[in-house]
Structure 1
Amino acid sequence: MGPQPESQFTAIRNMISFWVFGMCNNFAYSVMLGAAQDILKRNSESEDVASNMTEHCVEKITFRDCAPASAGVVLLCNIIPCLIVKMTCPFFMHHIPYAVRHFVICAVQTASLLVTAWADSVPTALLGVLLASFSSGFGETTYLGLASHYSKNSISTWSSGSGMAGLAGTFSYAALTDVNLMALSPRNAMLVMLVVPLSFTLSLVQQNNIPRYYSVVLFSHNFRYYCLLVRAPTVPAIKLFSPSTWLDFSSPYRRDLPEVESASDVTVNSEPKNNRLEAQNRPLQEQLIVLKNLLKYMIPFGTVYFMQYFIKQGLIEMVIFDCSHGFHTTIASQYRWYQVFYHVGVFLARSSANVVKLNFFCISLTAVIQVGGMFWYGTLSIQSLWLCRFQTSLAALFFLTAIYSFISHFIIVCVLMFVVGVVGGCNYANTFYHIHRKVDPTDREFALSTVTFADTIGILTAAIVAIPTHNWICAMPWYS
């Protein structure tokens, strides 16, 4: 029997599942970046429930209010484990069934929030950041690899969910800790957020006469059935009480994956040849050849990530406003709300992949635009385009504002951060959409898992550059 069309209902279930994967997987990672300044100021004396009540907006700024260390330090800790995972996992993690990986991701993410919440020193808090980074990187390679077994729409819904993770994580943290709103301490805010990874963990339970639609991902006793996500035939099942099924050395990257297009004509091979798709071991040399062919996606993808993270973790923390120009928010709150506006842009852009589809030239151009934002004179060849001119000015404005503070109001910076998020989010969603559509099905799972390595390199570079930039600008006198 050939591939059978799925019902529209099944397609919607799968799309919702990948949205939830993206949301839950990136939640802790986003919280850590939004809480970067609080993590760097961590000490046991400040951790009471009303600690934020001692914070007030600054009536007049006469000096640079710099944290002891750049937020790039948190970014560095939030990316190094992720980088290691993404460099190594695509070559061996296909031997670990997806269900096992899911439980590991949930457990590590829960531990990251607990460690950070109860830390009474900066090094301990940074350990929590390291754990969040590991879970995020392992999850991204896992769920993007899983998406290769499903429709292209799984990529767009994953992108949307990961965008919502940033928005939900930063907004909830900003609202919970804002002195004018909930005024919780950073510790209590972190503990409240445990509901996300715990809910994600509980979404994998045994089916003992429980309706299948009560959780996000629900397996039976032999882990074969999902609640929302319909298990593709190419996704191996495991048995909960049979540890021998927790590793599968007979399952290399699947070749001849079924072609699936859109939600309206999704296909899943419900009766694979010989009840199983043919699998062939891919030697390392062949994997490296595939990796070389992916560089055309990875280079612009990583470049965009470098620029946007240099802005949001390296420059924006030094753009501050007094009471009259900052809606009477504290300096710490301003940083948190910058992150919220950035993630609003990311979420909207990542959710647009099914509506706004960029061709490969436009994807590459977003990288040029972001780089141009930092180097005015290096982009004269493309300044005939109004979008390039605008984006060329964008990052330069952040850099110059961090030094000279000439932007007049807090809300203007928030709008600019929103635009930075839109550019980066649009690049993310469309890059993976094009890979899913154009890369040969036999290479798709490896490609989707591997390209995530490029954004990690970009973020790592941004973190390294952000630290000396922070120290250099903080050593300058205050200009106003």
Structure 2
Amino acid sequence: MPLAASDEDAATLSSQEQSSSIWKRFSARLSGAFSGADPRVCVAFWLFGLINNVLYVIILSAAVDLVGPDVPKGVVLLADVIPSFVTKLLAPYFIHLVPYWVRVFVFAFLSSVGMLVVAMSPGYTDGGTISSKIAGIILASLSCGAGELSFVGLTHFYGPFSLAAWGSGTGAAGLIGAGAYALATSALGFSVHVTLLVSACLPAIMVMSFFVVLPRSSLRSTESGADRYRVVEGGGEVEEDEMDYGAGREDEGLLGVSHNSPARKAIHVNQGRSWQDQTRTNLRRIKGLFIPFMVPMLLVYIAEYVINQGVAPTLLFPLSESPFEHFRSFYPTYNAIYQIGVFISRSSTPFYRIHNLYLPSLLQVVNLALLTLHALFDFIPTVWLVFIIVFWEGLLGGVVYVNTFAEIADRVPKEDREFSLGATTVSDSAGICIAGLLSMGWEVWLCSWQVGHGRDYCRQKT
């Protein structure tokens, strides 16, 4: 017996040593991955990504509460997306003339005022119209679009860790925004009015992050002079004093770009080219991106946003058969579950990659067909199965998004990569806009069908 006990002790000790060794290796790899990262930069950009995008998510989560059951929720989606999309198209040609510190104040002001307008507008149950709410949503959307454009550009001065932190923050915005809204208005019982008023204070965190958390020494020398740049082939924006190959700049080290890098070569080659030649070159690049990358992303975004805005408001069950006390609780819960799936899949590329982008896109279309058929014929027996499908929907949407850019990074030549990554982002915005238009008619059709067949849940106001 003592011998057996000794063997057990030895086995336990060996297991503990093995676990300790695994943990040490993991810690070493984690430390190596973040070697050289400035915690203040990472925190600041994570907060930029979170706050810039979280109001967009909150507005979409509140769509049912803002416009009521009689107005298609696609109206909210379009008001939340189109101004941002237009801003991204136009602002690059003039926004560089505005210093970053001024932009941050403007973004915070527009976002806060927009959310205050939405929050203070009379609710549809009190006879209020949606026009003032739409005006507030447009203000917040303008801020979101210009903010994304500016903060992604700001990463130029702070290196790759700032870009990684920004991406993580935007992913967290979906999860935190949808989850917090569902928690506040359902579980905690706060009114929509109070919840939106609190959200109007969030842009103050953006201001604090810029002026208190972010080290701004890299910006001072740049913003003290004329902040001008040229548009070069590849869609990149390069400051004019970067054209001086002989002069070294202090902030070059932040990106680690050498004088022999493809970006430098592209600048040199394109100095003598006309904008017509550059446009033709970029159109040829887009043609090569369209089928392998842009179409699957466009397809998955159309399908998932039609589900979210056109089908989800009609995926209702009797309250006695659900965990909710009010019909309005279904929609924000679906959105929160969807965002969990998106967040998980957007974080998946270090662990799992897919190369066939069309497969998950087509599976998303299957989700759209399945949930539309259920809205018509009511064959899914419980809301818990719908929760699973919505979670799966989020996984598919996120995995197409992140793997599209990963595939571009792997398959597109380095000299074309920057333009290709930027150009492909048009697909998600275009998909959301198309889905917004489709979902307005989709929801009306499904709700009318349900009412005509004795299920009037979609017309309930609470």
Range class of TM-score, shorter chain: 0.7 to 0.9
2:436 to 451, 463, 478: 463
Structure (1 or 2) with the greater helix fraction: 2
What amino acid is the match of 2:386?
Answer: V
For the Cα contact (< 8 Å) 1:107–1:201, is it kept in 2? no
Is residue 177 of structure 2 the alignment partner of residue 169 of structure 1?
A: yes
> Structure 2 CA distance, aligned partners of 1:11 and 1:437?
28
Q: How does 1:303-322 map to 2 (within 5 A)?
A: 303-322=299-318
What amino acid is the match of 1:128?
Answer: G
1:299 to 295, 301, 304: 295
User: Relative to 1, partners in 2 of residues 1:70 and 1:40: Cα closer, same or farther, differing over 3 Å?
Assistant: same
Equivalent position of 1:114 in the other structure? 116
What amino acid is the match of 1:297?
Answer: F
> Structure 1 CA distance, aligned partners of 2:109 and 2:37?
29
Is residue 248 of structure 2 the alignment partner of residue 254 of structure 1?
A: no
For the Cα contact (< 8 Å) 2:114–2:136, is it kept in 1? yes
2:384 to 411, 433, 437: 411
1:325 to 306, 310, 321: 321
Equivalent position of 1:401 in the other structure? 374
> Structure 2 CA distance, aligned partners of 1:254 and 1:140?
18
For the Cα contact (< 8 Å) 1:254–1:442, is it kept in 2? no
Equivalent position of 2:135 in the other structure? 127
> Structure 2 CA distance, aligned partners of 1:325 and 1:135?
41
Q: Which moved more, 1:346-355 or 1:460-469?
A: 346-355
Q: How does 1:271-310 map to 2 (within 5 A)?
A: 284-285=275-276, 286-287=278-279, 289-291=281-283, 292=286, 293-295=288-290, 296-310=292-306
Equivalent position of 2:79 in the other structure? 77
Residue 102 of structure 1 and its aligned partner are, at CA, apart by 4.2
> Structure 2 CA distance, aligned partners of 1:75 and 1:473?
18
> Structure 2 CA distance, aligned partners of 1:185 and 1:452?
36
Residue 350 of structure 1 and its aligned partner are, at CA, apart by 1.1
User: Relative to 1, partners in 2 of residues 1:287 and 1:150: Cα closer, same or farther, differing over 3 Å?
Assistant: farther
Q: Which moved more, 1:463-472 or 1:89-98?
A: 89-98
User: Relative to 1, partners in 2 of residues 1:271 and 1:400: Cα closer, same or farther, differing over 3 Å?
Assistant: closer
- Structure 1 segments of 4 or more deviating over 6 A? 148-153
1:23 to 50, 55, 75: 50
> Structure 1 CA distance, aligned partners of 2:55 and 2:137?
9
Residue 425 of structure 1 and its aligned partner are, at CA, apart by 0.9
Query: In angstroms, what is the RMSD of aligned CA positions?
Result: 3.5
> Structure 1 CA distance, aligned partners of 2:71 and 2:179?
23
Q: Structure 2: which 5+ runs fail to align?
A: 1-31, 123-128, 244-251, 456-462
What amino acid is the match of 1:420?
Answer: E
Residue 342 of structure 1 and its aligned partner are, at CA, apart by 0.3
Equivalent position of 2:193 in the other structure? 187
What amino acid is the match of 1:122?
Answer: I
> Structure 2 CA distance, aligned partners of 1:203 and 1:131?
21
Q: Which moved more, 1:444-453 or 1:185-194?
A: 444-453
For the Cα contact (< 8 Å) 1:167–1:344, is it kept in 2? yes
User: Relative to 1, partners in 2 of residues 1:155 and 1:289: Cα closer, same or farther, differing over 3 Å?
Assistant: farther
Is residue 353 of structure 2 the alignment partner of residue 369 of structure 1?
A: no
What amino acid is the match of 1:358?
Answer: I
Residue 129 of structure 1 and its aligned partner are, at CA, apart by 1.4
Is residue 211 of structure 2 the alignment partner of residue 219 of structure 1?
A: no
For the Cα contact (< 8 Å) 1:300–1:363, is it kept in 2? yes
> Structure 2 CA distance, aligned partners of 1:443 and 1:435?
10
> Structure 1 CA distance, aligned partners of 2:154 and 2:167?
14
User: Relative to 1, partners in 2 of residues 1:20 and 1:204: Cα closer, same or farther, differing over 3 Å?
Assistant: closer
> Structure 1 CA distance, aligned partners of 2:132 and 2:143?
17
TM-score, structure 2 normalization: 0.74
> Structure 2 CA distance, aligned partners of 1:288 and 1:100?
36
Equivalent position of 1:141 in the other structure? 149
For the Cα contact (< 8 Å) 2:44–2:209, is it kept in 1? no
Residue 433 of structure 1 and its aligned partner are, at CA, apart by 3.3
User: Relative to 1, partners in 2 of residues 1:349 and 1:314: Cα closer, same or farther, differing over 3 Å?
Assistant: same
What amino acid is the match of 1:290?
Answer: N
Residue 290 of structure 1 and its aligned partner are, at CA, apart by 2.5
What amino acid is the match of 1:200?
Answer: M
1:40 to 56, 64, 67: 67
**Percent sequence identity over matched residues?**
30
> Structure 1 CA distance, aligned partners of 2:324 and 2:51?
33
What amino acid is the match of 1:219?
Answer: R
SS of equivalent to 2:357: helix
CA distances 1:127-162 after superposition (whole Å, capped 9, x unpaired): 121122222223333444555777767665544322
SS of equivalent to 1:79: helix
Is residue 427 of structure 2 the alignment partner of residue 454 of structure 1?
A: yes
Equivalent position of 1:353 in the other structure? 349
User: Relative to 1, partners in 2 of residues 1:352 and 1:105: Cα closer, same or farther, differing over 3 Å?
Assistant: farther
Residue 401 of structure 1 and its aligned partner are, at CA, apart by 1.4
> Structure 1 CA distance, aligned partners of 2:444 and 2:313?
12
What amino acid is the match of 1:304?
Answer: V
1:473 to 436, 446, 456: 446
> Structure 1 CA distance, aligned partners of 2:348 and 2:45?
15
Q: Which structure's relative contact order is higher, taking Cα pairs within 8 Å and 6+ residues apart?
A: 1
> Structure 2 CA distance, aligned partners of 1:440 and 1:196?
41
Residue 104 of structure 1 and its aligned partner are, at CA, apart by 3.6
Q: How does 1:200-219 map to 2 (within 5 A)?
A: 200-205=206-211, 215=213, 217-219=214-216
Q: Which moved more, 1:341-350 or 1:169-178?
A: 169-178
Residue 344 of structure 1 and its aligned partner are, at CA, apart by 0.5
TM-score, structure 1 normalization: 0.71
For the Cα contact (< 8 Å) 2:58–2:177, is it kept in 1? yes
What amino acid is the match of 1:39?
Answer: L
> Structure 2 CA distance, aligned partners of 1:73 and 1:460?
10
Residue 340 of structure 1 and its aligned partner are, at CA, apart by 0.3
User: Relative to 1, partners in 2 of residues 1:452 and 1:136: Cα closer, same or farther, differing over 3 Å?
Assistant: farther
Residue 452 of structure 1 and its aligned partner are, at CA, apart by 2.2
SS of equivalent to 1:254: strand
CA distances 1:71-112 after superposition (whole Å, capped 9, x unpaired): 111111112112212333455555656555444433322222
Aligned residues: 391
Q: Which moved more, 1:89-98 or 1:166-175?
A: 89-98
Bigger Cα Rg: 2
For the Cα contact (< 8 Å) 2:112–2:201, is it kept in 1? no
